[in-house]
Chains A and B, each alone.
Chain A
Amino acid sequence: MYCDECKKRPATVHVTKIINGQKSEVNLCEECARAHHKEWSMAYDDNFPINKFLAGLLGFDAGKATGSVSLNLHAPGKCEHCGANYNQISQSGRLGCHQCYDRFQDKVEPLLRRVQGSNRHTGKVPKRSGGSIRLQREIQSLRAKLQQHVNNEEFEQAARLRDQIRELEKGMAE
């Protein structure tokens, strides 16, 4: 039996539709069935497994980024810390430990830019392990505020912020 749609490939998918009590049958090949499926499923459907999708991206990246054989040779092996290798990661779409981010940096960075649209964290910084970066960020944001006060000629507030920034900078130097 040939596919009802393309009439070329053998039909392997059989669909029975009942609409208002009217039964109709369609026999499709895999390719046409897939095209149909897209039509049937709703636009917001988010059924694809995200990890497989990511794995695909990682794999794709590997091919595209390396391109040449020489780069392939130096393609990543194993993370010394957790033992995960690049193959495992690209298959599962998950990294093995926090050091994998460092170890496979040249693969993860382009992926992040693609999936996240950015590769720089601008959010919360943990108090303890964030250490100096937290101070830096705080100083940055205070400086921005200070500039605003200066622009608005609110010198009293600006002076207060300036002192605050100095305090923080002292903290960083220590």
Chain B
Amino acid sequence: MRDRFVNQALTKWMEGTGKESEIVISSRVRLARNLCNIPFPNVASKAQAQAIVGQVEAAIKDAEIEETAGDLIFVNLEALEPLDRAVLVDKHLISPQHAEEASGKGLILRADEAVSVLINEEDHLRIQCLFPGLQLEEAWELASRIDDLLESKLDFAFDEKLGYLTACPTNVGTGLRASVMMHLPALVLTNQASRVLASLSQIGMTVRGLYGEGTDATGNLFQISNQVTLGRSEEEIIANLVVVATQLIDHERMARQVLLKETNPQLEDRVCRAYGALTSARIINSQEAMTLLSNVRLGIDLGIIQGVSPRVLNEMLVLTRPAFLQKLAGRELSPFERDVQRASLIRERFSLDG
């Protein structure tokens, strides 16, 4: 079973390493790029889409790219089973949109999954780098280097005034969307989260749930990203986000100290009950699992629970997702069967540490 976790589920961002990793789960940088003279994916014909896939596939076979970016694997999404594509979504390697309609779509993955290049999603190319902890600068540097190498082979649509041209005007300019996924349970428990996070929109940041636009902030996980992509340099965008993340980390730490001091028995009770439920439950839905895992993780961070790896939350974020459960079971599962499978998987994972 342990092998299964290691071989199939774990990806770099789940390692729980990197700076500030007790609060920042992962850092991601995405660059949107398009090729000149071919319509954007929403308008391109199937033949045009396939031509792009071919061009990009040829471009990455370049030795110099391999040297910088590491071992890159090209995946034709059409050749993957829908369930496998769903697993890639669970691992945050591709977007749900990319997985849904696989025709004429491709993906380039680095062996350690820290780099993925989506071909023909909303834009011709989306270069993504996903690192554990707070490592936005590192992710940007790597994404930019891969961008340079691809640009040396491919003609990108670029305008002197507007910068990189993208299908959606919200990405034009730098094409850069940087985001950090943060675990902020103490801000939520002390009722500060909505106030603090709402204020971010006033400084050009957006806050979303775990799986992007239109999803809830289950498990007290929030994804904070830059909203503006035009008129600011990449370095400014990244630096702003680092400042915001650092402030949120400080707020969260302070809130945790307050909780520890003022409501210790209640906090301990909440954490230990969550641990008890997770290690005993026979049926558990994903929402409940996320909430309990968030509490357990807070308990680990505060030293209330010992002997459990802080990685457990990061890993379970992916492992307890419907697609992954079905992948592990090797067949399609009804929602009820998934809840049973999820509970058993969580018990098994906790027994590894216990």
Q: What is the interface of chain A, defined by CB distance below 8 A to chain B? A: 42-44, 46-47, 49-51, 54, 81-84, 92-98, 101, 108, 111-112, 115-130, 133
In the complex, are the beta carbons of A124 and B207 less than 8 A apart? no
The A-B contact count (CB < 8 A) is 150
B234 surroundings in chain A (CB, below 8 A) = 123-124
Contact partner of A120 (CB less than 8 A), chosen from B161, B201, B217, is B161
In the complex, are the beta carbons of B42 and A123 less than 8 A apart? no
Contacts known (A124-B144, A129-B151); A98 close to B36, Cβ less than 8 A: yes
Contact of B242 with A by CB under 8 A: no
Contact of B120 with A by CB under 8 A: no
Contacts known (A50-B213, A94-B40); A123 close to B158, Cβ less than 8 A: no
Contact of B231 with A by CB under 8 A: yes
Contacts known (A46-B207, A122-B233); A54 close to B168, Cβ less than 8 A: yes
Contact of B348 with A by CB under 8 A: no
In the complex, are the beta carbons of B160 and A133 less than 8 A apart? yes
CB distance from B101 to the nearest CB of A (A): 15
CA distance A115 to B171 in the complex (A): 10
Q: Residue-by-residue, is B327-349 near A (CB-CB < 8 Å gives 1, otherwise 0)?
A: 00000000000000000000000
Listed stretches B72-80, B172-180, B247-255, B294-302; interface member: B172-180
In the complex, are the beta carbons of B151 and A119 less than 8 A apart? no
Q: Which of chain B's residues has its CB closest to A53's CB?
A: B170
CB distance from B297 to the nearest CB of A (A): 21
Contact partner of B214 (CB less than 8 A), chosen from A44, A49, A92, is A49
- Interface of chain A, main secondary structure: loop
In the complex, are the beta carbons of A127 and B39 less than 8 A apart? no
Contact of B260 with A by CB under 8 A: no
CB distance from A61 to the nearest CB of B (A): 11
Contact of B122 with A by CB under 8 A: yes
Q: Which of chain A's residues has its CB closest to B168's CB?
A: A94
A81 surroundings in chain B (CB, below 8 A) = 37, 39
In the complex, are the beta carbons of B231 and A119 less than 8 A apart? yes
11 CB contacts below 8 A, A to B, read A43-B194, A47-B214, A97-B38, A111-B169, A112-B230, A116-B229, A118-B228, A122-B233, A123-B233, A124-B163, A129-B155
With A112-B169, A116-B229, A117-B228 already in contact, 16 other A-B pairs whose C-beta atoms are closer than 8 Å: A50-B168, A82-B40, A83-B39, A94-B40, A95-B167, A97-B43, A101-B165, A116-B172, A116-B230, A116-B231, A118-B230, A119-B161, A120-B231, A121-B163, A129-B155, A133-B160
Contact of B159 with A by CB under 8 A: yes
In the complex, are the beta carbons of A126 and B176 less than 8 A apart? no
A95 surroundings in chain B (CB, below 8 A) = 40, 165, 167-169
Contact of B189 with A by CB under 8 A: no
B237 surroundings in chain A (CB, below 8 A) = 123
Q: Which of chain B's residues has its CB closest to A84's CB?
A: B43
